[in-house]
């Protein structure tokens, strides 16, 4: 049975390597590499390090991924707020600029990694079983988001939605196939299926147009743009209720500003790519929650029911982030 052994020193080394590669990618402005490494280093590393420091026992892979995402998002929001309030006292008037974030976030990740290394926690052993059949199905499921992206590009360029319709049919086929063949899997394929299916659906919805979807999203996009352009969060009153609510929310001001500056993506693509990726982790938490009360098949059915009732997301963008913290 394959095993992954997480030792404190190896985790610290991985953090140093990833953080160094990210800083190089930002300095050289390497396309794609900067976006991917930026998303990984922001979304997983802080939460994963904090999770290991908490010494929580009996966490499966799904729990670890979902909790890492949630803790990372929380840390980034409050760390960004801390920078926003502290750095101006030292004359740095753009505390959320790319330069400030590179230095401070690198320090945060390295510090968490160093503390974990210094504590020398007992190594964690994660065991999993997989077969060639499992890997083939996983590859097929991963193709769904790829097909969704290609179909959305085709939809935008030529108005042809045939690939998106094909993707929807394939999602139904994959759903039925995973349920019918679940006894043949050695890996818990429901985690992968839940994640990839929801990513594919959200991308098909949000990438099929060049514009931001939703009513609340417009005011949230405005608040994000104001914060990003100023590199400073100022919850000013505009005397417009929706804009004031957005300006007072860290999840649509400071959080997307951090992602935008680190990943080098403009505001529109942060909301159309990064936030759907955030929301796609919610089914993982739901599946784990349902699993504690019922069988795997019923848990997956519950997750799929949630997905088909949330085809365009989880409400406003700030509600997407709130749902991540609500699910556990």
Alpha carbon distances (Å) from 94 to 81, 85, 151, 247, 261: 12, 11, 39, 17, 12
Report the 3 state secondary structure along 15-61. HHHHHHHHHHHHHHCCCCHHHHHHHHHHHCHHHHHHHHHHCCCCCCH
Residues 185 and 141 in one domain: yes
**Domain boundary pick from 73, 98, 127:** 127
Residues 252 and 314 in one domain: yes
Q: Check residue 312 and give its pLDDT.
A: 66
At 219-235, the pLDDT tens digits run: 899 999 999 999 999 88
Helix axes 296-308, 162-180, angle to 10 degrees: 160
Residues 217 and 78 in one domain: no
Alpha carbon distances (Å) from 301 to 62, 135, 144, 209, 297: 17, 22, 19, 30, 6
Residues 100 and 225 in one domain: no
Q: Check residue 133 and give its pLDDT.
A: 76
**Domain boundary pick from 81, 103, 127:** 127
Residues 322 and 254 in one domain: yes
Q: How many CB atoms are closer than 10 A to CB 299?
A: 20
Residues 170 and 120 in one domain: no
| Whether the predicted pLDDT of 243 surpasses 70 | yes
Which helix (DSSP H) or strand (DSSP E) does residue 124 occupy? strand 124-127
- How many angstroms separate the CA atoms of 96 and 81, rounded? 9
Q: Which residue segment(s) compose the domain that 30 sits in?
A: 3-127
Average pLDDT value for residue range 243-251: 86
- How many angstroms separate the CA atoms of 119 and 172, rounded? 47
Residues 231 and 164 in one domain: yes
For the chain, what is the domain count?
2
- How many angstroms separate the CA atoms of 95 and 104, rounded? 10
| Whether the predicted pLDDT of 319 surpasses 80 | yes
At 147-164, the pLDDT tens digits run: 999 999 998 888 888 999
Average pLDDT value for residue range 320-326: 88
Q: Check residue 310 and give its pLDDT.
A: 78
Q: How many CB atoms are closer than 10 A to CB 56?
A: 11
Residues 119 and 179 in one domain: no
Residues 77 and 178 in one domain: no
Tokens representing 166 are 């094909």
Average pLDDT value for residue range 34-48: 95
| Of residues 63 and 100, more confidently modeled | 100
Helix (H, G, I), strand (E, B), or coil: what is residue 4?
strand
At 97-154, the pLDDT tens digits run: 999 999 999 999 999 999 988 876 666 655 556 667 778 888 889 999 999 999 999 9
**Domain boundary pick from 127, 158, 178:** 127
182-196, 212-226, 240-254, 262-276, range with greatest mean pLDDT: 262-276
Which helix (DSSP H) or strand (DSSP E) does residue 190 occupy? helix 189-206
pTM of the model: 0.91
What sections of 29-183 are H helices per DSSP?
33-43, 45-54, 61-86, 98-119, 132-158, 162-180
Residues 75 and 168 in one domain: no
Average pLDDT value for residue range 281-285: 91
Residues 56 and 112 in one domain: yes
What 8-state DSSP symbol labels residue 95?
Answer: T
Residues 228 and 135 in one domain: yes
Long-range contacts of 298-302 (CB under 8 A, 24+ apart): 299/190, 300/178, 300/179, 300/190, 300/193, 300/194, 301/179
In contact, 194 and 307? CB cutoff 8 Å: yes
21-35, 155-169, 212-226, 284-298, range with greatest mean pLDDT: 21-35
């Amino acid at each position: 049975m394959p095993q992954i052994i997480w030792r404190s020193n190896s985790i610290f080394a991985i953090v140093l390597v990833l953080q160094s590669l990210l800083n190089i990618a930002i300095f050289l402005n390497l396309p794609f590499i900067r976006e991917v490494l930026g998303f990984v280093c922001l979304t997983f590393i802080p939460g994963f390090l904090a999770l290991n420091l908490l010494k929580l026992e009996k966490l499966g892979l799904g729990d670890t991924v979902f909790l890492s995402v949630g803790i990372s998002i929380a840390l980034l929001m409050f760390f960004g707020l801390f920078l926003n309030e502290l750095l101006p006292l030292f004359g740095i008037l753009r505390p959320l600029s790319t330069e400030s974030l590179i230095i401070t976030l690198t320090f945060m990740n390295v510090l968490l990694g160093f503390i974990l290394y210094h504590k020398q926690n007992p190594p964690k052993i994660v065991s999993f079983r997989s077969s060639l059949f499992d890997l083939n199905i996983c590859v097929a499921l991963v193709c769904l988001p790829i097909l969704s992206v290609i179909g959305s590009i085709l939809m935008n360029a030529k108005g042809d939605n045939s690939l998106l319709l094909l993707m929807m049919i394939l999602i139904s086929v994959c759903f039925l196939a995973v349920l019918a063949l679940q006894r043949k899997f050695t890996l818990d394929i429901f985690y992968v299926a839940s994640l990839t299916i929801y990513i594919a659906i959200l991308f098909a919805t949000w990438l099929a147009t060049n514009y931001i979807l939703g009513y609340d999203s417009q005011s949230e996009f405005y608040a994000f743009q104001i914060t990003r352009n100023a590199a400073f969060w100022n919850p000013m009153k505009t005397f417009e209720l929706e804009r004031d609510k957005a300006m007072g929310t860290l999840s649509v001001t400071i959080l997307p500003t951090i992602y935008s500056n680190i990943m080098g993506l403009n505001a529109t693509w942060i909301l159309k790519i990064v936030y759907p990726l955030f929301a796609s982790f919610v089914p993982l938490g739901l599946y784990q929650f349902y699993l504690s009360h019922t069988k795997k098949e019923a848990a997956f059915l519950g997750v799929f029911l949630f997905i088909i009732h949330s085809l365009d997301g989880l409400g406003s963008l700030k509600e997407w982030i709130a749902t991540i913290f609500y699910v556990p």
